[in-house]
A and B are shown apart, each in its own frame.
Chain A
Amino acid sequence: MTGRWRYLLYEAFIGLRRNLMMTVAVVLSVTVSLTLLGASLLLSTQVDLATDDWIGRVEVSIFLCDDRTCPAITSEQQETLRQDLEANDVVAEVFYESKRDAYIRFVELFSDQPTLVESITEDTLPASFRVRLENPALFNVIRDEFEAYPGVEEIVDQREVLNQFLRFTNVVRNGALAVAAIQLVAAGVLIANTIRVAAFARREQTAVMRLVGAGNWYIRLPFVLEGVIAGVLGAFVSWGLLYATVPRIAGNLARDIELLPFIGASHVFAVGGWLLLAGTGIAAVSSLLALRKFLDV
């Protein structure tokens, strides 16, 4: 058995080396497609992470009047509003964000843009109630009920903001997936062609093998293995590329955008399994398809 495997691997490596240019082309093509696939998977992970966090925090902001566009809210009105909010069935949680809290958050958020920070004072930003709902879809209920309250300036569905962000990331992710799929098909065709060339180059050997009674799989496996090794190599290279770049990019973003959680090395690591599976799968399938007619008994 070990002798057999040594033979199979040896033959596969001979094939890869004999056709080095093709092997390089196959590995690169698999690398490109799997890198795109990995990137879109990671983007999905990122979106999930971000939206979980956002949705968990706040869904509705109720901004309070401060004499700029409407007469400032009185403390009684504010207390009534809070009590009514807390008593409401669809409301899960209510936080109060004072003008000062809002200012501090803004300063933190834009700490790297001093001119922007200088342009506002502690008094510029409105105070607000931040409300988390039992069911985020029930925004309309809140708006209809509290819009007319005295001292309420504006009610904003933060999910709408989120949805715009999600739409954007979805377009990017689906685009990357589509390109990855096309590239993966191209890689598959390239693998099939390479395997066919390899089988043709060794047709005398396979003809002899067939006539002395070598099993079908014994004849085919070196070729399939040749494709799979190239696929696995491509998967590892793309994994390495993602591992080297994505955590760094995410790290830079995390420094700039402190409110959001970002994916890290562990997420890239987790994607590796899928890349390996896709690389092996596409290589095995296209090799077998290439050999189906060529090496039949």
Chain B
Amino acid sequence: MIRLQNVTKTYTRAGTLEVIALDDVSLDIVKGEFVFVVGPSGSGKSTFMKLLTREQIADNGEVWVAGKNLATLRAWKVPLLRREIGYVFQDFKLLGNKTVYENVAFALEVIGTGKREIDRRVPEMLELVGLSDKAHAQPHELSGGQQQRVSIARAFVNKPRILLCDEPTGNLDPATSVGIMKLLDRINRTGTTVVMATHDQQIVDSMRRRVIELAGGVIVRDQSRGVYGYGA
């Protein structure tokens, strides 16, 4: 589902200074896996996620996502790639001028889904994330956890094959985070591949899923049923 082969990505900052974000990274993530990507800030997590959505393009090596080689993917096909990927942000990125329902429906509208299909899928999705009763609330009326549920509903409403979550619990308290993780786990059980970048040690330890640890742009650990740090 996701394959990186000898991928290198560097940024040029302040003119000449080169920063190596990913250095010769290779990995495979198969369909239906649940993978944590951990590591300190600046370890290359964000770059990894951005390569998968083709917001960034690797300098060297190959990135394959959902059967597509992103290096040779035509620009006009990028939107099609992104329809196979749901993206959940740390800060939710809900549109404040739309209701919960409209926020979720928006993701379908802008890819040209018919109205009848939207009317069928959005309530279904709100039901899945447990927010059927908040359909007509504004995002600012919701708690952080509820907003993240809306954001997940929006990411998953067009049934993508991959769900990328960038620190989805970063702004939430531990109790709320557990609820979000249960939701992601349920989505994963539908066969959706979930990749989650996180700092949250407690969550990683409790889930016991595959852990890929990055440090300084290289994979320092790739462990199935792993925990956040060494030693556990």
A residues near B (Cβ < 8 Å) are 3-4, 7, 204-205, 207-216, 218-219, 297
Contact = CB atoms under 8 A, between A and B. Distances in A.
Given A3-B115, A7-B109, A208-B106, A214 B95 contact: no
B95 A213 contact: no
Nearest to A210: B82
B154 A212 contact: yes
Contacts of B87: 211-212
A8 to B, nearest CB: 11
Given A213-B83, A297-B75, A208 B95 contact: yes
Nearest to B115: A3
A4 B115 CA distance: 11
B79 A215 contact: yes
B112 A213 contact: no
20 contacts: A7-B109, A204-B93, A204-B95, A205-B95, A207-B93, A208-B107, A210-B82, A211-B87, A212-B107, A212-B110, A212-B154, A212-B155, A213-B81, A213-B84, A213-B85, A214-B79, A215-B79, A215-B111, A216-B76, A216-B79
B169 interface: no
Range, interface on chain B: 20 to 34
B67 to A, nearest CB: 16
Contact of B79 (A7, A204, A213): A213
A211 B82 contact: yes
B54 A297 contact: yes
B23 to A, nearest CB: 26
Given A211-B87, A212-B154, A218 B110 contact: yes
Contacts of B79: 210, 213-216, 297
A212 B75 contact: no
A207 B94 CA distance: 11
Contacts, number: 55
B54 A214 contact: no
Going nearest first, the 7 A-B pairs with the smallest beta carbon separation are: A213-B83, A213-B82, A214-B110, A212-B107, A213-B79, A211-B87, A297-B78
Nearest to A297: B78
A208 B53 CA distance: 13
Nearest to A296: B75
A4 B112 contact: yes
Interface string B69-81: 0000001101111
Contacts of A216: 75-76, 79
Contacts of B54: 297
A210 B80 CA distance: 11
A91 B83 CA distance: 79
A207 B91 CA distance: 13
Contacts of B81: 213
B158 interface: yes
A204 B93 CA distance: 7
Nearest to B108: A212
Nearest to A4: B112
Contact of A212 (B78, B83, B114): B83
Given A205-B95, A216-B79, A297-B75, A211 B111 contact: no
Contacts of B154: 208, 212
A297 to B, nearest CB: 5
B118 to A, nearest CB: 10
A80 B93 CA distance: 98
A164 B107 CA distance: 67
